[in-house]
Amino acid sequence: MRSTTGITDFYDFENDFTLHLNLRTNDAYLVDRSLQAFEAGNFIRQTQQGSDVVIFCGDFNTEKDDLPHQVLTKVFGLKDSHPV
């Protein structure tokens, strides 16, 4: 359940995840990063049941138009907090 007290939101249950995708070098690791993004998104989907909020951060080594970013946002519905 989410409750609001004053100007601060508090959550009863929050899941935090971090990730560091492989280095982005001329897309030599595009397949690796895409699979890592898929595995991370799938893990989050399986473990976030019942949470009020999910925080997922890290060094994604990806741009908005790259496949790993699309996997996380389009396939798993995660929202990017940093508009590019």
pLDDT digits (tens, 9 = 90+) for 33-80: 999 999 999 999 999 888 888 889 988 888 889 999 999 999 999 988
> 62 and 69 in contact (C-beta within 8 Å)?
yes
DSSP secondary structure code for residue 60 in this structure: -
Q: What is the pLDDT of residue 37?
A: 94
* Amino acid (one-letter) located at 16: D
Q: What is the pLDDT of residue 83?
A: 67
Q: What is the pLDDT of residue 2?
A: 44
**Is residue 7 scored above 70 in pLDDT?**
no
Q: What is the pLDDT of residue 1?
A: 41
Tokens 């473990």: give the residue: 47
